[in-house]
Structure 1
Amino acid sequence: MEENFQKAVAGRLTVRGEKTRSRIVTTAADLIRVRGVGGTTLDDVALVSKVSKSQLYRHFEDKPALVRAVIDFVGERRIAGERERLGNVRTFAGLRRWRDAVVETNALHEGKYGCSLGSLANEVADQDAIARKKLHELFTAWEELFADLLRRFQQDGLIPQDADIDQLATGFIAALQGGYLLAQTSRDVTPMATALDVSIAHLSLLSREPSEVV
């Protein structure tokens, strides 16, 4: 039903309508980032995005529909950014630079707000099956970026050919998300840095090159 609604809306949107929809989604994403899904109402979104409630409902039939659009928006932006940052990493030094950038970015708010996708998953995965599926697909795409990086490490002889790439990629995602959560609750990025350091150290040990060990 929602899919048909969104297709019908998309089919009749003008350029102005596209801009209005984009503004609503961007505003909702910003509010949810700070207040969470539960703490963000449609009234809040309408007020901050400077649209009427009737305008908002012309684009989204209810709050779950808007939240799903936010997941798409946040997810595409996050995966695109990680693809750019991880796509050319071919050395342990490059992987550590990625780690430093992630930790430093999260330190700007002392770990507050956590991971944009992880926070959404915590709030909606058990209440909205469609949203959960979207989030699962996004995390799978993110994990695949790590898997691609690790395959490059294999090709370049940095880790053994028999290393379990899928397992290692899952481990990186788990360390990253766990790090975000620990940093968020402690308001300190040190646990996040530690979690990522342990993952990189484990990878270094697989190389069996003492000089590579952290």
Structure 2
Amino acid sequence: MRKATNTPTESNIESQTNPIPKLTKKGQATRARIVAAAAKLMYERGVAGTSVEDVQQEAGVSSSQLYHYFKEKRELVLAVILFQNEQVLGSQEPLLSHLDSMEALQSWRDALVLYQTELGFQGGCPIGSLGSELADLEPAARRELAAGFAQWEMAIRRGLRAIYDRGEMRSDAQPEQLALALLAALQGGLLLAKVRKEAGPLEAGLDAMLDHIRSYLIETSAK
């Protein structure tokens, strides 16, 4: 019998933030510009290093405009987390939606390494960076970050589960645990690659996990 684990489900990864009130098209554009500006600054400087005035200047809005959409910085931070969740996961499509073979997993790995290389290993993971700064300080922010990571983990798990359900993995494989471990290897690799300014840690972490996943493949399906 497999050990029960606390893994995300489709029903428990919903965002905890209140719905955005209905806005005019102009209002939506202004709000989006503010959030994008805040996300850029918080990614570069951190949340603590980004003031409301900095965001106001970067977005090119007045103080009254900014406070019309966000009553306090905390609300803006939550909006940035949602923005980064969407950006990070969206940037990996369509690869992330079809991780149902070792070839697809390898292509996803290669794309992640190439993207970080092109960035010069600056910044690391936007979600991970926010998590490092906020998880112990802001419960609401932690929940939003956890939801973002859970969506990421769920996408990986769906691919591994598809391989398992096709009978291409040994019966003792645990797609849920493998998905979580792969995401953890990715996050650790991104952090070390950021610090060392080289792809080696990211490649090592991802390659080790992909080799581990391959070890569960039934020989006739191994590539």
TM-score, structure 1 normalization = 0.89
Aligned equivalent of 1:170: 180
In 2, Cα distance between equivalents of 1:162 and 1:179: 27
Q: Which 5+ residue runs of structure 2 have no aligned equivalent?
A: 1-15
Q: Does 1:190 align with 2:204?
A: no
**Deviation of 1:92 (Å):** 1.3
Q: Deviations over 1:41-97 (max 9, x none)?
A: 111111011001111011101111101001011112222344521222332122111
Unaligned 5+ segments in structure 1 are none
Identical aligned residues as a percent: 37
Partner of 1:85: 95
Tell me, yes or no, if the aligned pair for 2:185 and 2:206 is still in contact at 8 Å: yes
SS across alignment from 1:206: coil
Q: Quote the offset at 1:171 in angstroms.
A: 0.3
Q: Whole-Å Cα distance in 2 between the matches of residues 119 and 62 of structure 1? A: 21
The whole-number CA distance in structure 2 between the counterparts of 1:211 and 1:190 is 29
Task: Tell me the alpha carbon deviations over residues 106-141 of structure 1, each in whole angstroms, 9 at most, x when there is no partner.
Answer: 111222100011011011111111010111111111
| SS across alignment from 1:108 | helix
Bigger share in helix = 1
**What letter is aligned with 2:201?**
P
Aligned pairs (5 A) from 1:193-204: 193-204=203-214
SS in 1 for 2:124: coil
Which residue, out of 36, 47, 55, partners 1:45?
55
RMSD of aligned alpha carbons:
2.2
Secondary structure of 1:162 counterpart: coil
More divergent stretch after superposition (93-102 vs 73-82) = 73-82
Aligned residue for 2:140? 130
> In the alignment, is the contact (CA less than 8 A) between 2:100 and 2:158 conserved in 1?
no
- TM-score norm. by structure 2 comes to 0.86
Aligned residues: 208
Q: Which amino acid aligns with 2:167?
A: G
Stretches (4+) displaced over 6 A? none
